[in-house]
Structure 1
Amino acid sequence: MSKKAFPLRINADVLAAMQRWADDDLRSVNAQIEYVLRDTLVKHGRVKLVQKVTTEVVDANAPKTN
């Protein structure tokens, strides 16, 4: 996926709130803004969700649970 730089004018209070949220999620402000935009676009049907493939690490020696 290619990315394009885009200048953004944003209210100082909104930017500060995004910074706090980004810090909580261990993201940069730029990544947090992109995450929020993408999530909103998916929720409103504007773009399709790209599913991530995850791998679960399992301890083979751990007792099995049901």
Structure 2
Amino acid sequence: MSKRKAFPLRINPKLYEVLERWAADELRSVNGQIEFLLREAAVRAGRWPGAGHSQEDKEV
């Protein structure tokens, strides 16, 4: 597994509750859900290098 960059994130408590429920529905941690959503947005925006071509793209 690749190294992860840790950083603090301030987020609206209501948004966190939504993310918490969403993550539980998809059997992910909140951190994993946020990373998944950000990666998907980066792919859709064409900003993720080699989108869909490497194993690292699929890690959550």
Q: TM-score surpassing 0.5?
A: yes
Alpha-carbon RMSD: 1.2
TM-score, normalised with respect to structure 1 = 0.72
Unpaired runs of 5+ residues, structure 2, are: 56-60
Amino acid at match of 1:36: L
Matches of residues 23-62 of structure 1 in structure 2 within 5 Å?
23-48=24-49, 49-51=51-53, 52=55
Amino acid at match of 2:38: L
TM-score, normalised with respect to structure 2 = 0.79
Return the structure number with greater helix share: 2
C-alpha deviation, 1:10, in angstroms: 0.1
Q: Report the identity percentage.
A: 48
Higher relative contact order (CA 8 A, sep 6+): 2
Structure 1's consecutive aligned runs of 4 or more residues displaced over 3 angstroms after TM superposition are none
| 2:14 is aligned with 1:13 | yes
Q: C-alpha distance in 2, partners of 1:45/1:36?
A: 14
How many residues matched?
Answer: 52
